Amino acid sequence: MKLSEICEKLGIAYNGEEREIAGLNALQEAGQDEVSFLENPKYASQLSATNAAAVLVTASMAQQLPAHSIPLIVDEPYIVLAKASAFFAPQRLEHDLPETAVGEGTVIEEGAFVAKGSRIGANCHIMPGVFIGNNVTIGDNTILYPNVTVYRDCVIGRDCIIHAGTVIGSDGFGFATTKLGEHIKIYQNGNVVIEDDVEIGSNTTIDRAVFKSTVIKKGVRIDNLVQVGHNCVIGEFSVLVSQVGLAGSSRLGRNVVMGGQSATAGHLSIAPFTTIAARGGVTKNVDKGGVYGGFPLMEHKLWLKLQGKLARLLKA
């Protein structure tokens, strides 16, 4: 879309240089054909380094933008971004794309649906009830059990096993709330990328990214009933046990283990070779590998001592 067209649809006054806009992106990752936003003054220092063609900002922060980025002055940049995200949402299902390419030895059972534009590697097994959307890529030797759903544009590597009922690429839980308490949907226009040798249990959900990709790196093992939020990155060979919940933009290093019903708040990172015990609650970054438990999170040995002291107090 043309920048002037976007501004007209959003009710933003603009009569400056015309630019062709390909999409939206985060401030630090936006390219010269993308629009970004910033509302929280805490991150204002990032404005000067952005490559975005234009940025939705308040008047108080507009002067910090570099010369090549056009300020789009609005009172509530996050609300306006939510409205703009709808302009770049792809069609749910397209029928005029090339036919699906299927590798040698692959079996697609009756009752599975594969949309056009997708590519499935060799020796895969796609079982009944599977739905594969447009432009999905699946590597060799991958198995999708019954009723797996893979939304459009997602990528699954080779030698993967996806068990029954799992959903890959559903919308992340994203919305902007107005001052009146109304929720405006932020369209999730990214995808999910699952690398090689990943196994995912039944009825797990992995949300697509707002921008770019939610990434599950090679060798990861995910149990049944796990929720992975939008824009998360799960490091190589990590293990997520049943009922783990990762809020959006969580980043796990390699070989992280999360016990049953443990969870993270959003936008946090966990160091490589960290273990979070069952029901552990991660509310801040974990910068050093080790074993942690409890809520709020602490070293597991300390948590065990605390539980022992509490038990003795109750007996007194």
Token pair of 203 as six digits:
């009825």
How far is 145 from 266, CA to CA, in rounded Å?
30
Question: By C-alpha distance, which of 138, 214, 203, 131 is closest to 171?
Answer: 214
How far is 135 from 157, CA to CA, in rounded Å?
14
What strands, in cross-sheet order, belong to the sheet with 143-144?
Answer: 107-108, 125-126, 143-144, 161-162, 199-200, 221-222, 239-240, 257-258, 275-276, 291-293, 298-299
Q: Which of 68, 230, 267, 300 is catalytic?
A: 230
Name the DSSP letter for residue 25. -
How far is 43 from 73, CA to CA, in rounded Å?
17
230 is catalytic: yes
How far is 33 from 11, CA to CA, in rounded Å?
21
Contact between residue 44 and residue 24 where contact means Cβ atoms under 8 Å apart: no
β-sheet bridge partners, residue 193:
155, 215
Question: By C-alpha distance, which of 105, 163, 98, 84 is closest to 135?
Answer: 98
Question: By C-alpha distance, which of 298, 299, 256, 295 is closest to 279?
Answer: 295
Residues annotated catalytic, as ranges: 230
